[in-house]
Amino acid sequence: MGPEDEAWLKAAISLARRGEGGTRPNPPVGAVIVSKGRVVGRGWHRKAGGPHAEVSALRQAEARAKGATVYVTLEPCSTWGRTGPCTQALIEAGVGRVVFGVRDPNPKHQGAGVRVLRRAGIIVTEGAAEREAGELIKPFAKRMATGLPHLTLKMAMSLDGRIAQADGKSRWVSGPGTRAVVMDLRRRVDAVMVGSATVVKDDPRLLPETAGMRPWRVIVDSRGSTPLSARVLTDERAKDTVLATTSACPASRVRRYEALGARVWVLPGKAGKVALRPLMKRLGDEGALRVLCEGGGQLAASVIEAGLADEYLFFVAPKFLGALSLPVVGGGSWPLDSCPRLAFESIAMAGADVMLRAKPLAGRRG
């Protein structure tokens, strides 16, 4: 395996990212077909039930695929699902070599594609751009292993750690640079989650600007306080809204939400709040791979307390709101020797704001 293999595999990863947010419950996958140093086919998985990346690339390459090298981010599938096995399509096309990034994380299928291709006489090389390819399918791998989707907790705050004025007004704490990043994030996830207080105060739509992308809008609302006039319930996408509530929400209120087109999930409660782990499990069962939690502060505290965040994304605006304003973490009180701890991974500018990316330190507090 040479540097050109790494380069072509990274090109396939870039293609795969175009499918993020649209492939659930499948992972995003990209493929590039190269013959005599030239690209003859490109493809990526766009949606479940549609052609897989390899098949899309083979259709573009046509006869030029014979003897060519196929670069694909994930081990080709070898079983029938909604579509036929990619291994069979590759064999029938007469490709000479397949290079992929990581094996299928599904233990039922892992390694099967490799065996089928090698039995057919195709040269198989694995592990190209392995770190990047593994990062691409991390949400899928987590769901396969735990049943839970990958959760990113995103919060925008002032320099003194405040997310809103004392009266709850938060538009806009952050600047246009942050909002552009968040719009792109919404495009690439399967669900955007907020607490009911955010809906009451801001009445957001929680949609990406990209046409055709349809993340679920999940409102965490233990008692049914989301107004019936909220835009997430009255716009053309109401059927993509999920109200996650508890038995404390009156049945009459549930019926009215459902009459507006929303789905209502009555889940276990914990200390008067929606228990978040059962909610994440339900989202995973429904096929969600990536969830973006946008707060507010009380929901952020619950996510942190439950240890559910896989990634933290904080946007810090160059302004002060003062001690009487609402804090970024609106609950909890953890001693220094046992508080949740993070490891910063990157820092960048988002317009005039600072973007901090962090991961939880597994099993460590204090």
Active site residues: 54
Order the strands of the 123-126 sheet from edge to edge: 38-44, 30-35, 69-74, 97-102, 123-126
Q: How would you class 85 by CB atoms within 10 Å of its CB: exposed for 0-12, middle for 13-18, buried for 19 or more?
A: buried
Distance, in Å, from the CA atom of 167 to the CA atom of 313, rounded to the nearest integer, reads: 25
Report which residue type is found at 295.
Answer: G
Do 238 and 267 contact (CB within 8 A), yes or no?
A: no
Which among 66, 71, 69 has a CA at the least distance from the CA of 29? 71
Which among 185, 279, 209, 200 has a CA at the least distance from the CA of 233? 200
Give the residue ranges of DSSP H helices in 193-312.
196-202, 231-234, 251-259, 276-285, 297-306
Phi, psi angle pair for 294, to nearest 5°: -105, 20
Do 276 and 298 contact (CB within 8 A), yes or no?
A: no
Phi, psi angle pair for 28, to nearest 5°: -70, 135
Helix (H, G, I), strand (E, B), or coil: what is residue 355?
A: strand
Q: How would you class 95 by CB atoms within 10 Å of its CB: exposed for 0-12, middle for 13-18, buried for 19 or more?
A: buried
Phi, psi angle pair for 69, to nearest 5°: -105, 130
Which among 170, 117, 127 has a CA at the least distance from the CA of 2? 127
- The DSSP call for residue 65 is G
Evaluate the CA torsion angle 267, 268, 273, 275 in order and state its sign.
Answer: negative
Do 106 and 74 contact (CB within 8 A), yes or no?
A: no
Q: Name the token pair of 91.
A: 């064999």
